[in-house]
Amino acid sequence: MTKLIVLAGAVVSLLLSSCAKTNHDAPAELSDNNKVKSEIAEQVHSNTVSTLNHSCANLDLNTLIGFTEGTVEASCQPVRDFHLKQFKCSVSQNAFGAELDAIVLKTDQLSVFAYASSKDCQHAVEIRNANE
């Protein structure tokens, strides 16, 4: 009986040591190329989240270019030309499927989708108009 218990203990010990060597729970190692891609993706994500969190807090309406959602054929113009007084601000991720984040400024009368550059605004308008 004692030999059976010792034998069972040895078997359990062998099983545990073989499981420890296989490292099923350990993360797979990345190649150098994948490590670089992963690090870049993390940096881009971190920068994007940081920018989005501060977009509405640090608005400068004099530098943004935007268009109103309610018009049939939207066109880009400086946001200051909309003469917005009181508005609600939010960020629309991938607005209109343009893979660009827009700052959305809403008043009781209109919604303005604003971008940092006229190029980004025009790209969003083209996609928005194509979807109509």
Please state the pTM of the whole predicted model: 0.58
pLDDT tens, position by position, 24-39: 444 444 455 544 444 4
Return d(Cα 7, Cα 47) in angstroms, integer. Answer: 58
Amino acid at 19: C
CB 66 within 8 A of CB 121: yes
- Confidence (pLDDT) at 120: 95
Return d(Cα 76, Cα 7) in angstroms, integer. Answer: 80
Q: How far is CA 121 from the centre of its chain?
A: 19
Which DSSP string do the residues of 82-132 spell out, in sequence order? Answer: G---S-EEEEETTGGGSS--EEEEE-SS-EEEEESSHHHHHHHHHHHHHH-
- Confidence (pLDDT) at 32: 55
Q: How confident is the model at residue 68 (pLDDT cuts 50, 70, 90)?
A: very high
> CA neighbours within 13 Å on the CB side: how many for 115?
23
* Beta-bridge partner residues of 111: 106
Return d(Cα 63, Cα 7) in angstroms, integer. Answer: 78
* Widest CA span in the chain: 92
- Confidence (pLDDT) at 19: 44
